[in-house]
Amino acid sequence: MAATRAFIAIEVEETILERLRAVQQHLRTAGAQVTWVREEGMHLTLKFLGDIEDDHLPEITRLLQCATSTVTPFPFSVAHIGGFPTIAHPRVLWAGISDGAGTLCALADAVAKQLASCGFPREDRSFTPHITLGRVKSLTDNHLPELLRAHAEDIYGEMSVSEIHLMRSELSPAGARYTILQVIPLDSGCRI
């Protein structure tokens, strides 16, 4: 039976992506060994599903329609650069969300709740909305924490969310390739 590596995400507007690419360029000067996320990989992930059987895609789409049925389109702001677990010792570099973060968390929770009903486990940790910029391999003799602090208060733009996407991720030596499988509009109703 065919399987798809899938996740649920919100696509980021091009003007914000351009600003995030510029930040990546500046952070590259720090001297850290980082695997940088390519532009097509910069999205706001609501839920990673892993490998799913293709015949489950219609049910997942229906559950996502239920999760978004009462969420009206809303804005959020991309702001602040940081690192998980901390700026001093980052393993993941990210751009955060300021205005609209609460609504994004509620949307991610609704998605997780609906998908849990068909066997997708909920995360142990709470959802933190962010856009991954890179994954740190080594921090030896570099200025990355200093540069992250320099961008800690930056604002990269505001965008409006009117839909979420069920995405396919295909891994290859050249990097992951992403394809939109389904577009689920917000506030479109639940088809039971």
- Contact predicate 186/42, CB 8 Å: no
Phi, psi of 149 (to 5 degrees): -65, -35
Q: For residue 27, what are its two tokens?
A: 């952070």
Name the 3-class secondary structure at 119: coil
Catalytic residue flag (residue 43): yes
Active-site option among 43, 56, 80, 165 = 43
Active-site option among 56, 130, 143, 165 = 130
DSSP-derived letter for residue 33 is E
Chain-centroid distance of CA 29 in Å reads: 25
**Residue 108, class by beta-carbon neighbours within 10 Å (0-12 exposed, 13-18 middle, 19+ buried)?**
buried
Catalytic residue flag (residue 89): no
Q: Which residues are catalytic?
A: 43, 130
